[in-house]
A and B are shown apart, each in its own frame.
Chain A
């Protein structure tokens, strides 16, 4: 699943990405979608706990934390310049 530079899990600290597609077959992923992690949402990696997992993202100004394995279900593309 993981391709470098393409999922939430591979964002660097402070880097933003817009969710391009979600692998929604897993009910756990659907659960995360009801929290607002859907296509078109802009997500920034705020921090990570010791060892890089779990990760904390900013989604519309709020913190949401995911484990790496879950973050890999969300493919991201770079945010267009000036977009937020």
Chain B
């Protein structure tokens, strides 16, 4: 495996001997097969990191051709080089050498989908003005053939001013060797002459550039003319000296008149693209393969919508059913390992730290890995096959009516397994407001970590009677799922009407044809995402698990040891065999409960009891709830400890203890209103440090995770209060 660490030194400061012979930026439209080609060229020699300060991933890979070593930078997929979206800005910054920590590219590899030349050539045309060596890879040339497209390569090269064009099939590797050779000599390729496609713009750029005492890139001046003196370009404009701003305005007036410059650019450039296509492409009658037939069928609204629900049901089922055996395996492996450690290290702080803190903590992360991997596998498959875009298209209207957009559907479904991958999946949503609204709604979906506590409380306190042909317990569980969905929708509506009020974002979605996903690409993406999850979420949950362990372990109580000794002696005197063993383990459990009441966590439970008293919780429930704030899945284990049933709390024992729990005055603690309130609390409350960490990572600020935490905790508290007070 190659190193995946991020380079922190700006690449231009790395000694030349360690640098690649040339750095090449890989640019292309979304869905152009760019990532597949990038993976085909660089294999596992990749480093994945982030661009500084943003959540856009940076992939850098190495390509060896004979003696030469080339560094390939895979830029985010873009349709154009304007400054519309974050991805486009990053692409522009990297290409122009303004991106901190990324070497100025020596050349550009433009990836163009042969079946989508119309939009591909628009981007290529912008790249032609950059005065950098350029190589064009025509991907999916096999699919183009099936569609009856005949592309005259030599004529296309001529139209592009001599730029090499290599038809490739990235999935099979066809044509890739020729592309490698072209890339190896990219620094010897003459950059194309700018001004071929839009002479007026280039002439105006030359005129403005002549005012500047320094040498400036013509391409950058062209962007300045089109985008205007934006804030980001003020520094650049200042280099031109006196009167430049006025001259810029004159030139823009001359070029664009009253038209919006971006509209003019689109009109001029697409006119050129249509001329090129007329000369280069011949359309023969297409061959309709299975992809086309599926597309036609799913294009109809009713079968398409039914198909979407079927796909969602399969994903949902797979995440729950397929993951369970592996999760059980991990669960028993961690308990066995914990027991072994306890046996090897004896009692004492170290053994407890390793077994209850480290192993249990790490285990609580790894146990979600199977679900997350299965979910990611499906998302990547759906994304690669082109279905994800269609799902967004079909669900757009429904999601829009609740203040989200079609692209929110996948993150929301994902969150039923775990909000962490769900929130990571919001990256497909281009609009920031929509994205944050989705991120805030996602944690309300009933995740798998909520299930253990739901299962415990429902089994113990909801009678197993039938309601019609349904079971009341199942109905309550279903109700909790629905409740979560409603809360999520209300949250999205509320936030889009208040803090994130804004115009409805444009919804322009390219709907790619169906394609067979490429196994190699799928596996590499899966591996990459699993690593990211384990590293980011793992560190947080792990440290929090250790902190909770310490709070429950310290301070050690002086009263426990004498009590244990006395009880053990009494038991040893009166009992033997099985009975003695049973008595001894009961004593251990009582000791653990005494210790917990004495610990910081137990004291905290007592301390906050008045706050939770109106909800009907005693100090035991309160301390379990506190312990559950970093990771809600620990709450059942903590309840097990407080109610002194030991670590291996089997549910029947724990339910019995909960049912028997009494207030000092003898009244029942777990009344039905209290239990329902507790369920509502768990349905709402954001008790998950991993989710908070991932919200922080995806929004790049602590504001949103802080807001989400306060908001959801407040709703959970008020909800539990209402249910308890109205019900009692």
Contact = CB atoms under 8 A, between A and B. Distances in A.
Interface string A38-68: 1111000011111101101001111111110
A61 B262 contact: no
B346 to A, nearest CB: 65
A65 B393 contact: yes
A79 interface: no
A36 B263 CA distance: 10
Contacts of A27: 260, 262
Contact of A46 (B116, B267, B299): B299
Contacts of A49: 301, 304-305, 393-394, 396-397
Given A36-B270, A61-B147, A24 B260 contact: yes
Given A33-B267, A34-B266, A38-B270, A56 B511 contact: yes
A30 B118 contact: no
A35 to B, nearest CB: 6
A31 interface: yes
A50 B394 contact: yes
A8 to B, nearest CB: 12
A44 B84 CA distance: 27
B299 A70 contact: no
Contacts of B509: 54, 64-65
A80 to B, nearest CB: 15
A30 B299 contact: no
Contact of A59 (B118, B149, B503, B512): B118
Given A24-B259, A62-B118, A34 B265 contact: yes
Interface centre among A50, A62, A64, A70 (most CB of B within 10 A): A62
Contact of A50 (B147, B271, B305, B510): B305
A21 to B, nearest CB: 11
Interface in B117-147: 117-119, 122, 147
A65 B397 CA distance: 12
Contact of A70 (B79, B116, B266, B506): B506
B82 A48 contact: no
Interface centre among B295, B508, B510, B513 (most CB of A within 10 A): B508
B507 interface: yes
A11 B305 CA distance: 22
A50 B302 contact: yes
B300 A47 contact: yes
Contacts of A59: 118
Nearest to A28: B506
A31 B508 contact: yes
B115 A61 contact: yes
B266 A30 contact: yes
A33 B79 CA distance: 11
A40 B294 CA distance: 30
Could you say which interface size class chain A belongs to?
35 or more
Secondary structure type dominating chain B contacts: helix
A67 B79 contact: no
B692 interface: no
Contacts of A60: 116-119, 277
B274 interface: yes
A35 B260 contact: no
Contacts of B404: none
B222 to A, nearest CB: 15
Contacts of B262: 27, 30-31, 33-34
Contacts of B393: 49, 54, 56, 65
A32 interface: yes
A34 B121 CA distance: 12
Interface in B261-303: 262-263, 265-267, 270-271, 273-274, 277, 283, 295, 299-302
Contacts of B396: 49, 53-54, 65, 67
Contacts of A46: 299
Interface string A1-45: 000000000000000000000101101111111111011110000
A32 B301 contact: no
B510 A64 contact: yes
A34 B274 contact: no
Contacts of B506: 28, 31-32, 67, 70
A29 B259 CA distance: 13
B116 A62 contact: yes
Contacts of A28: 503, 505-506
A22 B511 contact: no
B262 to A, nearest CB: 4
A39 B274 CA distance: 11
B32 to A, nearest CB: 11
Nearest to A47: B299
A34 B122 contact: yes
A34 B285 CA distance: 28
B508 A35 contact: yes
Given A33-B262, A49-B396, A54 B115 contact: no
A31 B84 contact: yes
A39 B508 CA distance: 18
Given A33-B266, A38-B266, A62 B510 contact: yes
Contacts of B397: 49-51, 53-54
19 contacts: A24-B263, A30-B260, A30-B262, A33-B267, A34-B82, A34-B84, A34-B262, A36-B118, A39-B267, A47-B299, A47-B301, A50-B301, A50-B397, A54-B406, A56-B393, A62-B512, A64-B510, A65-B396, A84-B283
Given A27-B260, A47-B299, A64-B510, 18 more contacts: A24-B259, A28-B505, A31-B84, A31-B508, A33-B267, A34-B79, A39-B267, A49-B305, A49-B397, A54-B396, A54-B397, A62-B512, A63-B513, A65-B511, A66-B507, A66-B508, A67-B506, A70-B507
